[in-house]
Amino acid sequence: MDSSSAIAQADRAAAVGDFARAQALLKEAAAGPAADMHLFLKLSAVSKAAGQPRAALAAVEQALAQAPLDFVALVLRATLLDSLGEAEAGEAWGRALAQRPEGDLPAPMLATIAAGERRRDEWLVNREARMKREMACLEAAAEPEQLGRIERFRSNVLRRTRPYHSEPTHFHYPGLVEREFHPRRLFPWIERIEAATAQIAAEFKAVMAAERAELVPYIQYQDHQPLDVWRPLNNNSDWTAIHLWQNGRIVDANAKHCPTTMALLGSLGQPVVAGAGPNAMFSLLAPHTAIPPHVGVSNARLVCHLPLIVPAGCWFRVGAETREWREGEAFVFDDSIEHEALNPTDQLRVVFIFDVWHPDLSDIERQAVAALIGSEAQPGTFG
């Protein structure tokens, strides 16, 4: 008997409450060489209706052996494990919900999913509590930087976050440590930059007021280039910049108003790359403007943000970590890791931005990076 005939006859038997005959028909068909997952799913459903959850579980697992990511089969398995009180039910719900298809689902399925989400969440809370108990003594002894990595490790295991990696658009230097936000201890100059926040902000206001200030769209590409992620912001005044250094060239019209800022930049050892760096600018993000997820061109450089004018609620995400900018609190991040930003307020947001070398690079490696990128450099290569 083929699968479709067996399922049709089993449906008729089940409709009159003869679950034993329905099971027998399906088991006979399932023993044949052409048994497919739909047959096993039907056998599971009939066995469940017959009050035989163990048999139902065995049948659905045979279906999953043929289609391990089938959403309906995964939901049925999780439901059966729950009804049996099995400890792995929460994890099973997590796997099932990860395969939820796009689009509308029938109302009964939505109710089942809602119950499954509650079960999964309960399992995650209990799992996290167990992990924290086992790790409590170690976390108490950890230094702040170590503690951050330990907490992220646990978060990744719980699937609340996921790993992000350096994926530059053009220039990937191998072997460099991947960090979303790099620790302050690696940049001994960062406190000097923060201490000068008021002076830098004052120079920003001076250059803004200057008659010849060069305020330009941050994103400027030709329409034919394959850069759809930037299309809403391309040549758009919602995200603009006042450049002090641009692709290795001082923008005199702006820089002359910012002597303190330029002197600080000169003391940092920015990446000097012919036709590509240094870069330093005041970044202006208009109210209710989003910067979409994207990555930069090279992991050999990092980017520093010094927030100057930041309405409450403006945020910046790198990988799995989201921070709110705070005026005068600088940070260094790897822009070759996916990042995005949002100004959800009614006010302008201004951040001073400049690039620095990745601290893992030796002097000879910095020279090698500069030589290679310089040989390829076109306007905007490193900016």
* Structure tokens belonging to residue 12: 């008729």
Region 271-290: mean pLDDT is 95
**Can you tell me whether residue 99 is helix, strand or coil?**
coil
Stretch(es) of the chain classified as CATH 1.25.40.10: 3-121
Q: What's the CATH number for 181-376?
A: 2.60.120.330
Per-residue pLDDT band for 29 (boundaries 50, 70, 90) equals: confident
Q: What confidence score (pLDDT) does residue 218 get?
A: 52
Contact 326, 310 (CB under 8 A): yes
Pick 3-121's CATH classification: 1.25.40.10, 1.10.3720.10, 3.10.20.600, 1.10.10.10: 1.25.40.10
**Can you tell me whether residue 34 is helix, strand or coil?**
coil
**Can you tell me whether residue 249 is helix, strand or coil?**
strand
Per-residue pLDDT band for 8 (boundaries 50, 70, 90) equals: confident
- For 125-171, write each residue's pLDDT tens digit: 999 999 999 999 999 999 999 999 999 999 999 999 999 999 999 99
- For 212-228, write each residue's pLDDT tens digit: 555 665 544 445 454 55
pLDDT at 235 over 50: no
Contact 340, 229 (CB under 8 A): no
* Structure tokens belonging to residue 93: 């719900």
* Structure tokens belonging to residue 72: 């309906």
Q: Which residue has the higher pLDDT, 108 or 228?
A: 108
Q: What kind and span of H or E run contains 239?
A: strand 239-246
**Rounded to an integer, what distance in angstroms lies between the CA atom of residue 100 and that of residue 97?**
5
**Rounded to an integer, what distance in angstroms lies between the CA atom of residue 92 and that of residue 346?**
45
Contact 290, 349 (CB under 8 A): no
Stretch(es) of the chain classified as CATH 2.60.120.330: 181-376
* Structure tokens belonging to residue 112: 């089942």
Contact 230, 219 (CB under 8 A): yes
**Rounded to an integer, what distance in angstroms lies between the CA atom of residue 132 and that of residue 140?**
11
Per-residue pLDDT band for 237 (boundaries 50, 70, 90) equals: low
DSSP collapsed to 3 states, 302-366: EEEEEEEECCCCCEEEECCEEEECCCCCCEEECCCCCEEEEECCCCCEEEEEEEEECCCCCHHHH
